[in-house]
Every structure is written in C-alpha cells, then in structure tokens.
C-alpha cells in the first residue's frame, strides 16, 4: 500500500533550512520544560477528540515534537498498529527514530506525499502547514492529506492562529529582529484564522467536525520562565509550574478562545459517501 522510502531528488532550499534548524536545536540550549508543556497540550487535545478509539494506520505530518520531546507518541502508539512519521530534515527523522523505534519514519514533503490513496485511517498534523510562504501551499497540502486518508478517516490539524492579535503581530513584523531576541526560533510562514481554515478544509474535501483554539498561556513569558526554571528550579517546582500553565487551557471553552489561543485546532473527517456534509 505504501511506497518505499522517498528521497528528495532535487536540491531543496526548504529541506536545507529545516535541516539547519534541527542541527541548531540539537546543539543549542535545551527546551525540555517548554516541550513538555506543548506536548501536554497536544496530548490533551487528542485525548478529547479521540478518546480510546483505535485505528490501524496513523500519519504524523512532521516529527519535530518526537525528536525533541515525547510528542504524541504515547497517544498514537496506544491507539494504532502502525504510525508513519514524515519530515524534511534527516536530523529530525534520525532523532525521532532513535526515541521511537516502533515508528516508521520517511523523508517526505507534505505537499507531495509518497503514499498511495487511502493509506491512513488518521492523520495528525500539528503546526506543520504554517511554515509555507503561500496559502496555496497550505491548500495543496490539505488536498494531499485528503487523498491519502481513507473514507471515514479523521484529520486532526493545528495551525498558528491568525485570529490571535499576538500571532498576527508576530507574523506581520520582520523575522530578523524577532529571531535575534528569541521570540521566533525559526521562520514562520503563512497561516490563517478559523474561518479561512474551515473554508480551505471544505474545499479540499473534508467535513468539519469540531474546531477550537489551544495554547492559551502568555507564550513569550512562559517560554522564558521554562528556560529559567529548568536550569535552576527543583523538579517539584517545575511540575507545579507546568500545572499552572495548563490552567490557561480552560480558556478554550470561552467564546473568546480564538483571541487567546496561539493555535487554531480542527477535527475534520473525510466523508464516507459523496454528498456527505
């Protein structure tokens, strides 16, 4: 059903860029505590949307989280027979494979996937599609994800949330100065708010089941605090701080959630029959 490992045949500046980011992260200071919070937010979202339901084949559209933290491996492993993770960066793939040897990792581009139609029961795409330089590339990726998803399958997707004023401001300001003061650790791309994302998903053939927003803590402050605490505070203090950050996720229940969440999150289905909506 799935093709062999896909190698990028032509030089790709995007691949080179993300390989450079991965090597920099591997050699640079640890982001362990912040990664724990990010992983916990994503795991909570998947627990809410998936519960204990099992599906044979999962696709994860990048494995950066699994390379530099736990990611969503526990949730995926408990609820699937096979998890395939893709990424552009060989370094990320190598690190993720070392941490999660039970996964199959493949070097691939989400805009042109090397898999047969209807290969997967579930697709998890967590802040993968918000690194392109044009909305058309997001839309092309959604069409590809729909193609490799089985009918009746589910897509769990998050993107940088342009409806959040802080995300909008970050994406509007020049990247260089923000990168130098560590507010943006890597290049950000085009993204959208919840309304445009829902339109794009429907255009690609998906049916929207639910949408929300996640990651509501004051991010810049929280990342800085995590960096300090993981160096100087006890494990008990670190755990207490992470529990405090998770309290902010209650804002996802508020009508103002899209103004405070850093990511828009959508659960979408591929209809089993033509005409389902």
Alpha helices in the chain, H assignment, sequence order:
13-27, 32-50, 64-68, 73-78, 90-99, 135-148, 165-172, 175-180, 194-203, 219-232, 235-247, 257-260
Give the pLDDT band (50/70/90) at residue 35: very high
What is the C-alpha separation between 164 and 193, in angstroms, rounded?
8
What is the C-alpha separation between 128 and 91, in angstroms, rounded?
17
Closest CA to 101 of 77, 122, 127, 128: 77
Give the pLDDT band (50/70/90) at residue 276: low
For the chain, which domains are there?
Answer: 13-269 (3.40.50.150)
Q: 123, 58 in Cβ contact below 8 A? A: yes
Query: Per-residue pLDDT tens for 68-81?
Result: 999 999 999 999 99
Q: 122, 55 in Cβ contact below 8 A? A: yes
Cβ burial of 185 (10 Å; 0-12, 13-18, 19+) is middle
What is the C-alpha separation between 237 and 243, in angstroms, rounded?
10
Query: Per-residue pLDDT tens for 39-89?
Result: 999 999 999 999 888 999 999 999 999 999 999 999 999 999 999 999 999
What is the pTM assigned to this prediction? 0.92
Determine which helix (DSSP H) or strand (DSSP E) holds 42, and give its type and residue range.
helix 32-50
**1 or 206: which leads in pLDDT:** 206
What is the C-alpha separation between 16 and 59, in angstroms, rounded?
23
Residues 6 or more apart in contact with residue 243 via CB below 8 angstroms:
none
Residue 185 in this model has a pLDDT that exceeds 80: no
Residues 6 or more apart in contact with residue 224 via CB below 8 angstroms:
none
What is the C-alpha separation between 154 and 49, in angstroms, rounded?
10
Q: 194, 161 in Cβ contact below 8 A? A: yes
DSSP 3: P
Question: Rounded to 10 degrees, what is the CA torsion of 172, 176, 137, 49?
Answer: -70
State the average pLDDT over residues 154-165: 97
State the average pLDDT over residues 171-187: 72
């Amino acid at each position: 059903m799935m093709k062999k490992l896909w190698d990028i045949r032509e030089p790709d500046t995007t691949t080179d860029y993300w390989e450079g980011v991965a090597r920099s992260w591997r050699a640079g200071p640890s982001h362990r505590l912040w990664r724990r919070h990010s992983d916990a937010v994503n795991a909570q979202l998947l627990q809410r949307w998936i519960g204990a339901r099992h599906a044979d084949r999962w696709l994860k559209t990048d494995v950066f989280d699994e390379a530099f933290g736990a990611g969503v491996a526990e949730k995926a492993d408990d609820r699937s027979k096979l998890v395939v993770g893709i990424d552009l960066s060989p370094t990320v793939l190598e690190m993720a494979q070392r941490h999660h040897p039970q996964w199959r990792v493949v070097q691939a581009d989400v805009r042109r996937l090397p898999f047969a139609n209807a290969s997967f029961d579930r697709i998890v795409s967590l802040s993968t599609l918000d690194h392109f330089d044009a909305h058309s590339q997001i839309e092309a990726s959604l069409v590809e994800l729909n193609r490799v998803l089985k009918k009746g399958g589910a897509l769990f997707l998050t993107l940088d949330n342009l409806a959040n004023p802080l995300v909008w401001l970050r994406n509007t300001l020049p990247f260089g100065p923000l990168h130098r003061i560590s507010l943006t650790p890597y290049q950000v791309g085009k993204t959208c708010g919840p309304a445009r994302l829902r339109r794009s998903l429907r255009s690609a053939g998906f049916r929207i089941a639910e949408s929300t927003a996640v990651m509501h803590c004051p991010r810049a402050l929280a990342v800085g605090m995590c960096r300090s605490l993981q160096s100087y505070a006890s494990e008990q203090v670190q755990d207490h701080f992470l529990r405090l950050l998770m309290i902010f996720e209650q804002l996802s229940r508020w009508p103002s959630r899209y103004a405070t969440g850093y990511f828009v999150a959508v659960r979408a289905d591929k209809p089993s029959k033509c005409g389902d909506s």
